[in-house]
Amino acid sequence: MNRIGITLTSVLLTASVASAGAAAECPTPETVQGFATCADVKKATAEGKLVVYSPDVEQGTVKLLRAFETAFPAIKTQYVRLQTGALYSKLLAERQAGSHLVDVVNLSDIGLAMDFQKRSGYAQYRSPQLAAFEPRFKSKPEGYYTWGAVIMGGIAYNPNTIKGADIPKDWPDLNQSKWSGAVSVKSANSGLQYATWHQLKETLGDQYWKDFAALRPRAFDSYVQQFDRLVNGEDKFAHTAQYSGVLEFQQKGAPLAFVAPASGLPTSPEVWGVIKEAPNPQAARLFIDWFLSPVGQRAMADALFMHSARIDVDPPAKGIPLKDMKLLVPDDWDNYLQGRKAFIQEWGRMSGLR
């Protein structure tokens, strides 16, 4: 496992390489609204539309896109929200039918992003913002997709109902018969859920999930459902509790507490890229440049409570900085991609959905 550690030196070294690549495509980026872009802003304005596919919660996506529209009021945004697995299936079905409806796609499973790159689904666009991202946060070659956010999963509970010795310190602490039928997870369509299954399998071994299956966990498509059940007392714990969602609920005053397990936090990126046959290609490029800039990354953190991979963007309000977390990230992304089929089968059996 790798622990993400972002250093200023590595970013500066990356910047010189990335800037050279970007310069070859766009030697003189235009500065608009406080960020550099290689998009044709006039053409983007004339296109007047941007369509985004994303698995993020609706209220956060609306807030994020509204921030972009505030900067560029002539470009009206639309979005489709589905969990990553379902979203990717929709995208592939549309492409197979020759229907190109989306400009920018956000996937919370890098394995699917790698698959989409192999299918030549992305347009290679070397944003001038790429200089601020380490190589590990970019596609190879760069310009196809970029880590637009870093998400991690832990354990959440309601401190009004769980106290003292019942508060878990690590993942295996949940594997007790008294919590049977009282733990929720995310569905197999969730990129973060797959990351959690994969990373804990490597960290804790196969027996961990065999023991966990005895709890008869319930699977849900959204952390909103998971956390509502904690607040209402229907469940005791949310496994694979998305940290950004916990921060969002806490800001609203919900009684939620978060455990960062001692073994580490399974971590997954949200990867963003421009679609090759985007109907609004310049608006797509403009959005990606805005989104990957400090301006857009701050808007993302404020709207979705997620962490930026850029070191010059602070974590979301009251969020723990990335450098202070033990993040579990795959060493081999190709191996990670190959494990998804086994995960879907096992997760369906475990959660009672298949």
Q: Has residue 91 got a pLDDT over 90?
A: yes
Tens of pLDDT along 207-224? 999 999 999 999 998 899
- Whether pLDDT at 99 is above 60: yes
250-304, pLDDT tens digit by residue?
Answer: 999 999 999 999 999 999 999 999 999 999 999 999 999 999 999 999 999 999 9
> In this predicted structure, what is the pLDDT of residue 22?
44
Percentage with pLDDT > 70 across the chain: 92
Residue 205 has pLDDT above 90, yes or no: yes
What pLDDT, in 10s, does the model give residues 110-142?
Answer: 889 999 999 999 999 999 999 999 998 999 999
What is the reported pLDDT for 86? 92
271-282 burial by CB neighbour count: b if 16+ within 10 A, else e? bbbbbbebebbb
- For the cut 60, the answer to whether the pLDDT of residue 2 exceeds it is no
Model pLDDT, residue 219: 94
CA distance 191 to 84: 6
Q: Residue 12's pLDDT is what? A: 34
- Across the range 200-204, mean pLDDT stands at 96
Give the model's confidence band at 348: pLDDT under 50 very low, under 70 low, under 90 confident, else very high.
confident
pLDDT of residue 175: 97
What's residue 352's pLDDT? 66
CB atoms within 10 A of CB 164: 5
pLDDT at 329 over 70: yes
Q: Which domains does the chain have, with CATH numbers?
A: 8-150+268-318 (3.40.190.10), 151-267+326-349 (3.40.190.10)
Inform me whether the pLDDT recorded for 5 exceeds 50: no
